Amino acid sequence: MSAYASADIVDAFRNQLELCKLAKGETVLIFTDPRYVRPEYVPAAFAAARTLGAEAYVMISQGDQMLEDNLVCSAWNNADMVLGMSMLPRGIGSWIYTETSNNALRSGARILMVQEPFDGLKRMFPNETIRRRGLIGAQMMEEAKEIRITSASGSDYVMRKDGRKGAYQCGIADEPGRWDHWPSGMVYCAPIEDSAEGIYVIEPGDVLLGLWRHATTKVKLTLEKGRIKKIEGGSDAYLLQDYLDSHGDDGAYRLSHAGWGTDERADWGSVGMDSESKYGTVLVAIGRNILDAPAKHCGMAGENWSTAHCDICCRNTSLWLDGKQILENEKFLIPDLR
Ligand SMILES: [Fe+2]
């Protein structure tokens, strides 16, 4: 990689850190590890933070760190802002599902994940439209008690969410105790873990994000009392079953979060945050969901501690909140969500 790769992208990081209200004298911890896939982001963020007058630090953890030791925890807890540039800890998919991250948020840190390709960071740079759609959607989600999802391909399932938060992501972590992922545009909640009932169909072309691929075959999940009782279909059903069985805990067969994407700039051909963020698509994930944050409309506070986490992003799907249809085949029926 060119030695100029970091220097060329400092402006984008500075613009992002300004959106996150990074101020002179605040401390920024850039947390990374030797296997982080975008090493050029670390010096770019460091330089951008310095230009804003912040006190910047880089912590490079060993590649098998579980984010449990005192040094890591105290650094996260005491930073005004943490930039998570790491896929650690291995085995549970992401540091966002650790108590280390939850505790730092409780301590008032704002936390931003950055790991997508630079093309995505630019193309889906946060803006007020994505923030507005997210906030209004999260308010509606928070008030709702039941989510129903249907599709012409045969999905028809319901989930309860009584008392659970409604959350959104817009790519900006600008208040104490808020986390976000640059880039992203989504609304979601953690449904009650034993509540999902019905049939969840994944079509070819939908995204099995936990498997880092578009589905090429139809998959039918049967949900009973919140648990996936049956996985039927072709090769993708086999791969999904294998992924969940490889984790094997009870939560691996229960849902994690449910909601929709808000960003029309997302590219369905790019598997990652593009898949999760695509405007009008429905994302219902399986597995771990303990991410919690004190900021309003942030985090999930779910009770699924599984080591599995598989996001599944579906096109051509409809969604109801408490019996009121808000989404019909990727078109929002509520003007405020458009
Ligand atoms: Fe997820």
How many other C-beta atoms are found inside a 10 Å radius of the C-beta of residue 281? Answer: 23
Sign for the pseudo-dihedral over CA of 311, 317, 321, 323:
negative
The rounded Å distance from CA 234 to ligand 1 centre is: 24
Which residue ranges does the chain devote to CATH 3.40.50.2300? 7-115
Architecture per CATH, domain 7-115, reads as 3-Layer(aba) Sandwich (3.40)
The rounded Å distance from CA 181 to ligand 1 centre is: 11
The rounded Å distance from CA 192 to ligand 1 centre is: 15
Q: Which of 156, 171, 174, 164 is nearest to 261 (CA)?
A: 171
* pLDDT, position 69: 93
First to last CA, the chain: 40
- Across the range 256-270, mean pLDDT stands at 98
Q: What percent of the chain has pLDDT over 90?
A: 97
β pairing state of 110-114 and 179-182: parallel
β pairing state of 317-321 and 146-151: antiparallel
* pLDDT, position 3: 77
The rounded Å distance from CA 311 to ligand 1 centre is: 5
Q: How far apart are CA 237 and CA 243, in angstroms?
A: 10
The rounded Å distance from CA 113 to ligand 1 centre is: 13
264: its two tokens:
């029309």
* pLDDT, position 85: 98
* pLDDT, position 91: 83
* pLDDT, position 2: 77
Q: How high is the mean pLDDT of the chain?
A: 97
Query: What does each C-alpha distance from 133 to 126, 185, 296, 329 come to in angstroms?
Result: 12, 9, 15, 18
How does pLDDT run across 54-83, given as a tens digit for each residue? 999 999 999 998 999 999 999 999 999 999
Answer whether 87's CB lies under 8 Å from 114's CB.
no
The rounded Å distance from CA 57 to ligand 1 centre is: 28
Adjacent-strand bridge partners of 28: 56, 81
The rounded Å distance from CA 257 to ligand 1 centre is: 7
The rounded Å distance from CA 47 to ligand 1 centre is: 30
The rounded Å distance from CA 238 to ligand 1 centre is: 21
* pLDDT, position 162: 96
**12 pLDDT above the threshold of 90:** yes
The rounded Å distance from CA 127 to ligand 1 centre is: 22
How does pLDDT run across 134-145, given as a tens digit for each residue? 999 999 999 999
Decide: helix, strand or coil at residue 218: coil
Q: How far apart are CA 319 and CA 326, in angstroms?
A: 6
How many other C-beta atoms are found inside a 10 Å radius of the C-beta of residue 293? Answer: 28
* pLDDT, position 119: 97
Decide: helix, strand or coil at residue 39: coil
Which H or E element spans position 95? none
- Across the range 310-314, mean pLDDT stands at 98
Confidence of residue 93 (pLDDT cuts 50, 70, 90): confident
pTM for the structure as a whole: 0.97
The rounded Å distance from CA 4 to ligand 1 centre is: 33
- Across the range 250-272, mean pLDDT stands at 98
The rounded Å distance from CA 309 to ligand 1 centre is: 6
**105 pLDDT above the threshold of 90:** yes
Q: What percent of the chain has pLDDT over 70?
A: 100
How does pLDDT run across 166-180, given as a tens digit for each residue? 999 999 999 999 999
* pLDDT, position 272: 97
Name the E strands within 225-280: 227-233, 255-261
Q: How far apart are CA 318 and CA 147, in angstroms?
A: 11
How does pLDDT run across 179-237, given as a tens digit for each residue? 999 999 999 999 999 999 999 999 999 999 999 999 999 999 999 999 999 999 999 99
Answer whether 177's CB lies under 8 Å from 301's CB.
no
The rounded Å distance from CA 7 to ligand 1 centre is: 32
